[in-house]
Amino acid sequence: MRDDTVRTVVVDGVTLGRGSRVRLRPGRRGDIFDLALAGRTAEIDSVEEDMEGRIHVAVLLDGDMGRDFTTSLGHRFFFSPQELEPAAEDAGLCEVPARARLLVAGIGNIFLADDAFGPEVITAVRREPLPEGVHVADFGIRGMDLAYRLLDGYDTAVLVDAAPRGDRPGALCVIEPGPGNDEDRAVAPEAHAMDPVKVLALAGQLGDGALPRILVLGCEPQTRMDGAEADVTVGLSPPVREAIGPAVELLRHMVRALLRDPLTPLDDLVVPEALKEVTHP
């Protein structure tokens, strides 16, 4: 560790350094020792940067009788900045509310025409970053990666995808899918394929807790391909291409609402007058 390279780190808009108080919120993919410390309060001992440029925060647990012997007994615990919450001065005596965490995931195959809607929306969103607390990623057809990411402690995940529903090409919709059936849960997704139903089923099997709330921001495709065609087709059809801008606007509205309240009703996620043609079930 290069512990003299980084002295502070910003978490939820608060600059933290040695002596700052935090509450621990380890991700679900942490090891059993980290998960056992969820909710504990601690004091930052140092902010360190490893040789690959990754930031690690060493903390001393409140109530740990061995914290004064950190050098010899190793009572420092390391967490990423994303696994910490700034705590009030009396954080050891009161609960600190968790900030909502949101995943926006683009899914789809860029070589299958309008199936590239999700990745194209993610590209457009990245031109103007979303608020802190929102993680944006293009998963393409990496279903296994998405399944594991859904276990990282998000409150809500918005999947952006082409969604054939028999509507006019380019029509947007917001869907909150229900749980899959037993057949879906019995079939694991391929490592390089993206079937959202199977991905959600796998995530449910892998995790030991509740999955995040799942929402789908979908677009009716004009050109539908299933991968069995002799040739690939790169590029969106005109109506789906025209839906990118409204989809980004809708997504930003959804993000603002979901950061305030991850349980915002579906009806309240499609409010802007500019998006009055957006449909939802």
Say if residue 272's pLDDT is above 80: no
Q: Residue 54: what residue type?
A: R
- Long-range Cβ pairs for the range 87-90 (8 Å, 24+): 87/21, 87/22, 87/23, 87/41, 88/21, 89/21
Pairing of strands 55-61, 41-49: antiparallel
Determine the pLDDT at residue 94. Answer: 37
Closest CA to 108 of 150, 161, 173, 169: 161
Q: What is the mean pLDDT of residues 224-238?
A: 71
Q: What is the mean pLDDT of residues 183-210?
A: 60
The Cα 71–Cα 57 span in angstroms is: 16
User: What is the pTM (predicted TM-score) of this model?
Assistant: 0.61
Determine the pLDDT at residue 97. Answer: 42
How far lies 249's CA from each of 154, 227, 238, 270, in Å?
A: 22, 30, 18, 10
Structural tokens at position 82: 């994303």
Q: Residue 110: what residue type?
A: I
85: left (phi over 0), alpha (psi -120 to 50) or beta: beta
Q: What is the mean pLDDT of residues 93-108?
A: 68
Say if residue 98's pLDDT is above 70: no
- Per the model's pLDDT, the better-predicted residue between 189 and 118 turns out to be 118
8 A C-beta contact, residue 96 and residue 11: no
- Per the model's pLDDT, the better-predicted residue between 229 and 142 turns out to be 142
Q: Which residues have CB under 8 Å from 48's CB, separation 6+?
A: 1, 2, 3, 5, 6, 55, 56, 57, 58
CA dihedral (34, 158, 260, 277) in degrees, to 10, reads 180
Please report which confidence band the pLDDT of residue 88 belongs to, taking 50, 70 and 90 as the band edges: low
Q: What is the mean pLDDT of the chain?
A: 77
